Amino acid sequence: MLTYKTHKEIPLEFRRVILDETLQKRIAKVSIGVCNEIIDDFLDNGAENETLKEYQVESIKNGVRSVADVVGRQRALVEVDRILEYGESDGLGIYIALRQGGNLIAGYANGDWVSIPSRDALIIRKRKNG
């Protein structure tokens, strides 16, 4: 957590973020407390976004379990393609769990992709009359 005491101490990259957030034209019009809050939020969001670049591809193929940690969506997709033998395999007996930042985002089982609902998805259930 960075804490600046004056507006002059704030680096240029943070000044732009503050001005964009507050829609002010001059940083001096924003209180130093608000500036520090905006900077903290910006840094927290950056750290959280870094974790979203980390993927884990867990698979079971021919009874052998393997786990690959990769960085970046493209690398994760290449790893999945490698497991599926670039489309040459029928996919039967292959199970894949794809995680992003520790959360399950996709699954593959016996030749079919399994949809994973988001954490905040609404599930509508019909009520039984009676």
pLDDT tens figures, 64-107: 999 999 988 889 989 998 998 887 777 788 999 999 877 888 89
Q: DSSP class of residue 35?
A: H
The pTM score is 0.56
Pairing of strands 54-61, 64-71: antiparallel
Domain ranges of the chain: 7-51, 54-114
Give the number of other CB atoms < 10 A from CB of residue 8: 8
Would you state the pLDDT for residue 130?
Answer: 56
pLDDT in tens, 29-75: 999 999 999 999 888 887 777 767 889 999 999 889 999 999 888 89
Nearest Cα to 76, choosing from 62, 95, 93, 96?
Answer: 96
For residue 118, what are its two tokens? 């988001």
